[in-house]
Amino acid sequence: MALMRTITGPTALKRLSARQVETLAAEIRDYLISSVSRTGGHLGPNLGVVELTIALHRVFDSPRDTILFDTGHISYVHKLLTGRHDFSTLRKQGGLSGYPSRAESDHDVVENSHASTSLSWAIGIAAGRKLRGETDRHTVAVIGDGALTGGMVWEALNNIAEHRDLPLIIVINDNERSYAPTRGGMADYLASLRATQEYEHVLSWGKRQLNRTPLVGRQVYETLHGMKKGLKDIVSPQGMFEDLGLKYLGPVDGHDVEAMETALRRAHDYGGVVLVHAITEKGHGYDPATADEADRFHAVGVINPETGLPLELSGRSWTDEFSDEMVRLGKERDDVVALTASMLIPVGLQPFAERYPERVFDVGIAEQHAVTMAAGLSFAGLHPVVSVYATFLNRAFDQLLMDCALHRQGVTFVLDRAGITGTDGASHNGMWDLTLLSMVPGVRVAAPRDGQQVARMLREAVEVDDAPTVVRFPKGSVGEPVEAVRRSGTVDVLRDPVQLEGAAGEDRQAVDLLLVGVGAMATTALEVADKLFAEGRAVRVVDPRWVIPVSDDLVELARSARSVGVIEDSLVGGVAGRIGQALADAGVDVPVHAYGIPQEFLDHGSRGQVLDRVGLTPDAVATSLTARLA
């Protein structure tokens, strides 16, 4: 890595010869494979933008010129070229972020890893600088073809078309994939442009043959050249971007630094908005990441760099539990359909799609559209299951509220990665959903405590046909089932302070604390109860299962408690606030002690580290409750 170590910023990069640039690209690719295989991270996407990112920094003057990445997981090469060479702490607490980070460098601008936002950022920055008289500064947005499926991109392009004199460059990183292969009309259109590029390669071949075998070569070349206009009209009848008034350059080989630099310099000197279409290959230069299982290398754990195989065997995940139950439901009910937003594999819908391909709708990175489409499917007599990461539900709140809930449509939302996710940082923690959902009239929210409950509560959710339902669960491996000692109405009692003979009077047994564990936090609640029991406290631990709305059965259990504690992996007061209000409405005058995630953006780290940082560990909660119950 001798040459890479000398690149402490873009200025050093600009001094390299063409041969040195080629060497640098190889060193960066080797370094990414070596380092990310030890830490985990987004390997495939970054291998695909090595040459493209080098060309960007050789042409533009970051940070005076602003370079934005959509999404930010393709910023690893950018980090290396701006002097951040230690990837040993990538995505670890106190270490390098897996996304751009303003705290790390002036070269980083947009930290949010939610897709399809870069063009709105870009026109805002470029227009703002124009108003300030800074017209010699360029703004560059690098956006993948997957992110182009997001509706916000087209809102921005519509606006950009009105401001074509801005020094704004849009680089499409077209690798035919988001997480998995990009689908839809936009993907088809870009494919037509790629076909044009392939035709140009054939034409170049004809020219070479002209020099080698003049007679045959001339016939081939003249025939191809004569077909050129007609062929282009067939594969790309209209230049959509140029019809919007945007200068279009490409397609360009994104792995050819010289070709990329030429296109980017033309864009730089144009004096207005330019779109540069770069063709890249996700995982380029690393055979395991470009094979049939390339989707595995979008984001990897610790792997063997030689084989690409994982070194750490993970157990059965929460997502696996959902995935298997969806296949079973699909066999039993032909009205069950599934929707997702470019996350078919991560959210566990791939097996369902393989079994029932006509009943799956991958709409691209378009959560708003997915939710309203689900409302339409529900109206047509089907039961849609919308599966997304919990953090991405934020993007479709209005559609959940006004299209699903207002119209009482039976749509089930499955929120994967709910609560603290950890290593992906602030934008990926699924900590807002319960607070947002608590404002939606008629919604019913389930928080399963284990894998068995995921299956059971998914079944209960799809039985509801007159309101939206939600099933939320965390990231990672699912533990052993947490058995209930008994059921009190709809509430599972996980632990009682004493075992009484018979059922009569059990719920009226007075306790010091009714401790409510929301979803996966039920195991934390049980450990807290053990600690308080050792101090002589009588604690009843319950799992409401359905946390919104608050059940009358939970209210009745609270009547026999001197206080109530709620542990939830969402913003403080999400479920606890609803419980407190329900108790007040029922005239149950007991204090409610809430434990959740503080209202702040949380830096990356392991899930355990983040939970410890915010005080959601058994020791921290037990210590706090001991003081409060004194």
Active site residues: 282, 367, 395
User: Is 560 labelled as part of a ligand binding site?
Assistant: no
Whether 625 contacts 532, CB under 8 Å: yes
Give the whole-angstrom CA distance, residue 268 versus residue 254: 17
How many CB atoms lie under 10 A from the CB of residue 312? Answer: 8
Nearest to 423 by CA among 33, 93, 73: 93
- Give the largest CA-CA distance in the chain: 102
CA angle 565, 567, 572 (to 5 degrees): 100
- How many whole angstroms from its chain centre is CA 146? 12
367 marked ligand binding residue: yes
DSSP string over 535-584: TT--EEEEE-SEEESPPHHHHHHHHTBS-EEEEEEEETTHHHHHHHHHHH
298 is in an annotated binding site: no
CA 423 from chain centre, in angstroms, equals 12
Going by C-alpha positions, the residue among 276, 273, 277 that lies closest to residue 122 is 273
- Contact at 8 Å (CB) between 396 and 404? no
114 is in an annotated binding site: yes
Q: Is 73 annotated as ligand-binding? A: yes
Asked if residue 286 belongs to a known ligand binding site, the reply is: yes
57 is in an annotated binding site: no
DSSP character at residue 37:
H
Listed in sequence order, the DSSP H helices in 213-317 are 214-235, 240-243, 257-270, 287-290
Judge whether 387 is annotated as a binding position: no
Q: Report how far residue 431's alpha carbon sits from residue 416's, in angstroms, rounded to the nearest whole number.
A: 12
| Residue 277 CA, distance from chain mean position | 24
- By CB neighbour count within 10 A (0-12 exposed, 13-18 middle, 19+ buried), where does 281 fall? middle
Residue with tokens 């919308």: 386
Q: How do beta strands 539-543 and 491-495 pair?
A: antiparallel
The answer to whether the annotation marks 517 as part of a ligand binding site is: no
Strand, helix or coil for residue 44:
helix
Is 175 one of the annotated binding-site residues? Answer: yes
Q: Kindly state the DSSP code that residue 247 receives in the 8-state scheme.
A: E
Give CA–CA dist 284/263, Å, rounded.
Answer: 21
DSSP 91-152: TSTTS--SS--TTT-TT-------SS-HHHHHHHHHHHHHHTT-TT--EEEEEETTGGGSHH
Residue with tokens 């890249």: 280
> Which amino acid type is present at position 557?
L
Identify whether 618 is preceded by a cis peptide bond (ω within 30 of 0).
no
For 453, counting Cβ atoms within 10 Å of its Cβ (0-12 exposed, 13-18 middle, 19+ buried), the class is buried
Binding residues for thiamine diphosphate: 73, 113-115, 146-147, 175, 286, 367
Binding residues for Mg(2+): 145, 175
